[in-house]
């Protein structure tokens, strides 16, 4: 049988660290992997975790420790086939949460090649590594897709999993390929692969490349007198469906246990929020008056005006319900940003 531990790819990323923390709090044995630039070591701090010791028996592995416990982390690029195949043959896990990705649609326009290598080739190598295992040792695998796969759609209806795909960025196209590849491996090879098609989410630890963390940091800098008394933005008209990252993690954990292999599930709230409305929540929480300035250079070459999802399939399969408010998540970002300037 497959082992009782869990493997998280992209473990030191935004969602990865929240997922690792959740798993550790439930007493799970956790392994993480992620890629790093050539010649560099894993970071000296990742969220609440710091490296303590080298991990014996796994080349390059380190042990990260934090308030929730410790986990083994292996610097490993999924874009290379052999390392992930060798690792899975050795550690025997029961579930793989595949979060590793080049996750910025904006960056994908500047570097489409790396986006495809990371998201498609990396996923293919992971699937092949799972397929190489004996049937009884194959872990459940959850692959993370994106609402960007849907692209622009007519009208304002909620997008369900049968909505025709219409990707308009290299990132979105790569995620379509990733999701279809996972479904094909479930159908052709019987791999226990489930796909989560995630809509927008935010929360503590998100990179300032993304809109709301960027806004929060600008506000905190202005409050501390270390930045202009304005928030510089891109296009604020986009309508999105936001979840708190902790609700996303809860959905992922349920899907890896209760999802149907070969099936795609939207992970979303079903509630529309414009980027402007989210910014207004942050500005109302600011400690001094601020102006808003739009910079056209911050807009993407092409963007989807509206992405709001239907989570019926997810709720019926798992019983999942979101528990956190998006307003609370946004104000939490602001509190986190303030700590940088104190």
Residue 217 pLDDT > 80: yes
- Percentage of residues in the chain having pLDDT higher than 90: 89
Reported confidence tier of residue 58, pLDDT bands at 50, 70, 90: confident
3-state secondary structure of 122: helix
Residue 56 pLDDT > 70: no
Whether 197 and 255 have beta carbons less than 8 Å apart is answered as no
What is the pTM for the complete model shown? 0.95
Mean pLDDT of 206-225: 96
More confident residue, 42 or 70: 70
Lowest pLDDT segment from 52-56, 210-214, 252-256: 52-56
Mean pLDDT of 82-91: 96
Lowest pLDDT segment from 7-11, 42-46, 230-234, 327-331: 42-46
Mean pLDDT of 281-294: 96
Reported confidence tier of residue 300, pLDDT bands at 50, 70, 90: low
Q: What is the model's pLDDT at position 302? A: 63
Domains of the chain, each with CATH number or no CATH: 5-202+244-267 (3.40.50.720), 211-241+271-310+323-340 (3.90.25.10)
Mean pLDDT of 232-238: 94
Which runs of consecutive H residues, i.e. helices, occur in the chain? 14-25, 81-91, 105-110, 112-116, 122-131, 170-189, 211-223, 245-258, 275-284, 312-318, 326-340
99-112 in b/e form (b: 16+ CB < 10 A) is bbbbbbbbbbeeeb
pLDDT in tens, 147-205: 999 999 999 999 999 999 999 999 999 999 999 999 999 999 999 999 999 999 999 99
Kindly report the length of the chain.
342
């Amino acid at each position: 049988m497959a082992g009782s531990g869990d493997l998280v790819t992209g473990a030191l990323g935004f969602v990865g660290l929240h997922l690792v923390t959740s798993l550790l709090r439930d007493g799970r044995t956790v392994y993480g992997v992620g890629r790093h630039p050539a010649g560099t070591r894993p970071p000296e701090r990742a969220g609440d975790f710091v490296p303590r010791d080298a991990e014996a028996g796994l080349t390059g592995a380190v042990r990260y420790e934090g308030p929730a416990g410790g986990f083994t982390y292996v610097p490993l690029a999924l874009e290379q086939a052999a390392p992930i195949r060798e690792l899975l043959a050795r550690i025997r896990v029961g579930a793989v949460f595949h979060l590793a990705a080049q996750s910025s649609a904006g960056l994908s326009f500047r570097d489409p090649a790396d986006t495809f290598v990371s998201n498609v080739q990396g996923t293919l190598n992971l699937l092949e590594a799972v397929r190489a295992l004996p049937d009884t040792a194959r872990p459940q695998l959850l692959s993370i897709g994106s609402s960007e796969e849907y692209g622009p759609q007519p009208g304002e209806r909620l997008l369900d999993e049968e909505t025709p795909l219409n990707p308009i960025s290299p990132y979105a196209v790569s995620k379509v390929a990733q999701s279809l590849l996972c479904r094909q491996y479930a159908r052709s090879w019987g791999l226990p692969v489930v796909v989560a098609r995630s809509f927008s989410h935010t929360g503590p630890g998100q990179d300032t490349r993304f809109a709301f963390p960027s806004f929060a940091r600008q506000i905190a800098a202005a409050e501390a007198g270390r930045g202009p008394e304005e928030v510089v933005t891109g296009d604020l008209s986009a309508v999105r469906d936001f979840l708190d990252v902790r609700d996303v993690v809860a959905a992922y954990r349920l899907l890896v246990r209760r999802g149907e292999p070969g099936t795609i599930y939207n992970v979303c709230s079903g509630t529309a929020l414009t980027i402007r409305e989210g910014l207004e929540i942050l500005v109302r929480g600011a400690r001094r008056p601020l102006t808003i300035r739009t910079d056209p250079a911050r807009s993407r070459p092409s963007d989807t005006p509206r992405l709001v999802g239907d989570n019926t399939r997810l709720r019926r399969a798992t019983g999942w319900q979101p528990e956190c408010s998006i307003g609370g998540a946004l104000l939490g970002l602001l509190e986190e940003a303030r700590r940088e300037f104190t």
